[in-house]
Structure 1
Amino acid sequence: MLSIIDKYILKRYLITFGVMILLFIPIGIMAHLAEQIGKMQANEAPLDEILVYFGNFTIYIGSLLFPIFLFLSIIFFTSKLASNTEIVAILSSGVSYNRFLRPYLIGASIIALMMFIMGMFIVPTASKGFNEFKFKYLKKGNQDRVTNNVFTQLNKTDFIYVSSFDPARQIGYNFTYERFNADNELDFKISAANIRWIEKDTIYRLTSYEKRRLVNDTALVDTKRRLDTLFTFDIGDLTPVSYVAETKNIFQLNRFIADQRQKGASNINTYVLVKYKRWALPISAFILTIIAVAVASVKRRGGMGVNLAFGIVVAFIFIFFDKVFGTLAEQAGFSPLLAVIIPNLLFGILAFVLLQKAKR
């Protein structure tokens, strides 16, 4: 059962966090609107789509900044408690430091649960709307597409590859289509200088077409300058959207990752990283809460300003580590699981050290 002190601290915890969001999210919306309004007008974005976009923008950006808002809000109100000597009074009454932490951990549990539900189910829908509007009206030229070294396994036997793809012209270069038999031996290989999707005829056009088949250890080669044909794959298989993992809820994402693994997708780490980050986000709420309390509960000569400055530095370092390890996982083959664990582990150790120091 919560005591009066628990209710007092928990109330301050949640109210300060809510006020922090209500203060800074509108500022972010106005700054973004001022920056992008020219592009929206130039590309004739409808007003109803703009309104929906900023609703999605609020959820999308807010979810990214939740840990930072949480961290700074705890430092803010805990520093006020310390400067008013309220923490000294609480601890002097016989309340242990661990007991003093309880309402903070309860508050962190509430925020973590909210972050979990939003990250798994609400933010993906907002992310889809946010990114679709952005690449439709704010970033022209199909910049949302993965266009280099696209390799896809269509099923157990068929593989396709293009060295580069131009989504605007619907052309892929250095196209290869390989099919293997049940014995994992090459059945045939189709190659072409380029492959183009002809939408009005719903066909694919291959230039410098060549097909090689093995019959009784003899290679049969069929070549054509140009060939119009049909394939079972969709043009979308050659132009995967770069943000596709962000738009799927946790169940859809699990199925999508399993499907991409089966296809041998080259950028599978990007999708797996998104999944692990969703699970790690609620954990960061507890780590940042402990760090913030340990730093702000000690009354300092510089007061709240020193604590907030320290908090901002720690927040930027946390973001830096998160981005660095995330980039390593996406581009250097680093384990996505370790890319998520290492920043939280390092700051978990920092939280433990600062907590022990604060207790003393």
Structure 2
Amino acid sequence: MMLLTRYIIRRLTATSFYALLAFLALYSFFDIVSEAGDIGKGSYNGLKMMQYVVMQMPAHAYELMPLVVLIGGLIALSQLASGSELTVMKTSGMSTKQLISILLQFGLIFAVLTAVLGEWAAPSLSRSAENLKATAVNGKISTGSQGLWLKERNNIINVREMLPDHTLLGVKIWAHNVDFQLAETVEADSAVLNNEGWQLKNARHSLLDGNGVKTETQAVEQWSIELQRNLLDVLLVRPEQMSVTALTTYIGHLKDNHQQTKTYEIAWWRKLMYPIAAMIMALVALAFTPQNNRRGNMGLKLFGGICLGLAFHFTGRLFGFTSQLYNVPPVIAAILPTVLFGILGVYLIRKQEKR
């Protein structure tokens, strides 16, 4: 049985990776078409565009993982069925429960991969990709491990991080005089963007003159700055691109400031459920696997399974929007699509067994 288990998992994994590569190639083509219009802006050239596209691949892979498991599972199981291998396995003593156990092991492999991509690889590389592009297109800003650096008039500014509500964290400003000699440094815990500039909170000033350094602190201070707001968007990460750890921290920040958290709570629950969705899709693949090798039956089943996978891919987003409109609890909005598809898979498998 161990030999059969390894054989089936190997076939399932191989076809799933082929499906993933095909989808990534398609998504990368769309990214290249979208980015081609920005080539020539600043130092953004073809090589940097390709770097940007490659660094976005982990985020695409994360989004596609349940769909890839479904399509890869459908293709592999259909190939086994068309070659009568599934029939031979069942007549040799393999039960449906054992086949389901093998599929869950296969789904677990991709569930772990999904968790790794969603928690570490995708958020980090997506942010690095945006930093790369922003630095190339906008010559007066630079990004790195310490956040965003920019020059505005005689000021050099460093912003460590920007929260999704456009609150800036870790703001440092070095102000120079007309001879570009350092005249003042300002360090603020946070800043809020408004029409007049930045509203600094807990701003600590160090004034330099011929007699030494004078320090003072302002609880709230308005800092006038002429800077396009979209230049700072390079620091902004959408909820879907945030890790569970980052979402947890930000939800706590919003609650402390008595702000709405539903959008981020939905994203948090979806992050937890997404690896489980990969395992559920493995069961759905079995449910849509043809039980005989008739070509018409096989093509119809494959088409139906792929359509179902695409439906799952977009249903999660739809539930997120509708939950905000109709005040549905975030946990229900996030887990309901996965639960419904899981129930559908179990129902169809039981229906097949009764035939």
Indicate whether the TM-score tops 0.5. Answer: yes
C-alpha contact (below 8 Å) 2:32/2:49 kept by paired residues:
no
Which consecutive residues of structure 2, in runs of 5 or more, have no partner in the other structure? 139-161, 170-191, 204-217
> What's the counterpart of residue 97 of structure 1?
96
C-alpha contact (below 8 Å) 1:81/1:297 kept by paired residues:
no
Structure 1 residue 345, shift from structure 2 partner: 1.6
Total equivalences in the alignment: 286
AA in 2 matched with 1:288? M
> What's the counterpart of residue 315 of structure 1?
309
Which consecutive residues of structure 1, in runs of 5 or more, have no partner in the other structure? 140-144, 155-169, 173-193, 203-228
From the superposition, tell whether residues 138 and 312 of structure 1 become closer, same or farther in structure 2 (CA, over 3 Å).
farther
Structure 1 residue 26, shift from structure 2 partner: 2.2
- SS of equivalent residue, structure 2 residue 253: helix
Instruction: List aligned pairs for 1:205-216, cutoff 5 A.
Output: none
Query: Distance in 1 between the 2:279 and 2:199 partners?
Result: 54
> What's the counterpart of residue 191 of structure 1?
none
Query: Distance in 1 between the 2:264 and 2:329 partners?
Result: 12
Matched, 1:296 2:289: yes
- SS of equivalent residue, structure 2 residue 56: helix
Query: Distance in 1 between the 2:292 and 2:310 partners?
Result: 23
C-alpha contact (below 8 Å) 1:108/1:285 kept by paired residues:
yes
Structure 1 residue 43, shift from structure 2 partner: 5.5
Matched, 1:250 2:244: yes
- SS of equivalent residue, structure 2 residue 108: helix
| Cα root mean square deviation, aligned | 3.6
AA in 2 matched with 1:270? T
- SS of equivalent residue, structure 1 residue 296: coil
> What's the counterpart of residue 80 of structure 2?
81
Instruction: List aligned pairs for 1:12-161, cutoff 5 A.
Output: 12-42=11-41, 44-46=43-45, 49-132=48-131
Structure 1 residue 134, shift from structure 2 partner: 6.8
Structure 1 residue 103, shift from structure 2 partner: 2.0
Identity of aligned residues (%): 22
Select between 123-132 and 97-106 the one with higher mean Cα deviation.
123-132
Structure 1 residue 357, shift from structure 2 partner: 1.3
From the superposition, tell whether residues 47 and 316 of structure 1 become closer, same or farther in structure 2 (CA, over 3 Å).
closer
C-alpha contact (below 8 Å) 2:239/2:267 kept by paired residues:
yes
- SS of equivalent residue, structure 2 residue 254: helix
1:261 to 255, 260, 279: 255
2:220 to 224, 231, 242: 231
AA in 1 matched with 2:341? F
From the superposition, tell whether residues 4 and 58 of structure 1 become closer, same or farther in structure 2 (CA, over 3 Å).
same
Matched, 1:340 2:339: no
Alpha-carbon deviations, 1:133-179, whole Å to 9, x = none? 6778899xxxxx999xx799x9xxxxxxxxxxxxxxx974xxxxxxx
From the superposition, tell whether residues 346 and 91 of structure 1 become closer, same or farther in structure 2 (CA, over 3 Å).
same
From the superposition, tell whether residues 7 and 197 of structure 1 become closer, same or farther in structure 2 (CA, over 3 Å).
closer
Structure 1 residue 346, shift from structure 2 partner: 1.2
2:347 to 349, 353, 357: 353
Alpha-carbon deviations, 1:205-248, whole Å to 9, x = none? xxxxxxxxxxxxxxxxxxxxxxxx98269999x99976343454
Query: Distance in 1 between the 2:339 and 2:221 partners?
Result: 46
> What's the counterpart of residue 157 of structure 1?
none
Instruction: List aligned pairs for 1:262-277, cutoff 5 A.
Output: 262-266=256-260, 268-277=261-270
Alpha-carbon deviations, 1:166-209, whole Å to 9, x = none? xxxx974xxxxxxxxxxxxxxxxxxxxx644499xx9xxxxxxx
From the superposition, tell whether residues 259 and 171 of structure 1 become closer, same or farther in structure 2 (CA, over 3 Å).
closer
Structure 1 residue 121, shift from structure 2 partner: 1.8
C-alpha contact (below 8 Å) 1:121/1:249 kept by paired residues:
yes
Query: Distance in 2 between the 1:262 and 1:357 partners?
Result: 50
AA in 1 matched with 2:342? G
Query: Distance in 2 between the 1:52 and 1:309 partners?
Result: 35
Q: TM-score, normalised by structure 2?
A: 0.69
C-alpha contact (below 8 Å) 1:60/1:130 kept by paired residues:
no
AA in 2 matched with 1:72? I
Structure 1 residue 52, shift from structure 2 partner: 3.3
Q: TM-score, normalised by structure 1?
A: 0.68
> What's the counterpart of residue 226 of structure 1?
none
Structure 1 residue 356, shift from structure 2 partner: 0.2
Structure 1 residue 307, shift from structure 2 partner: 2.1
C-alpha contact (below 8 Å) 1:269/1:330 kept by paired residues:
yes
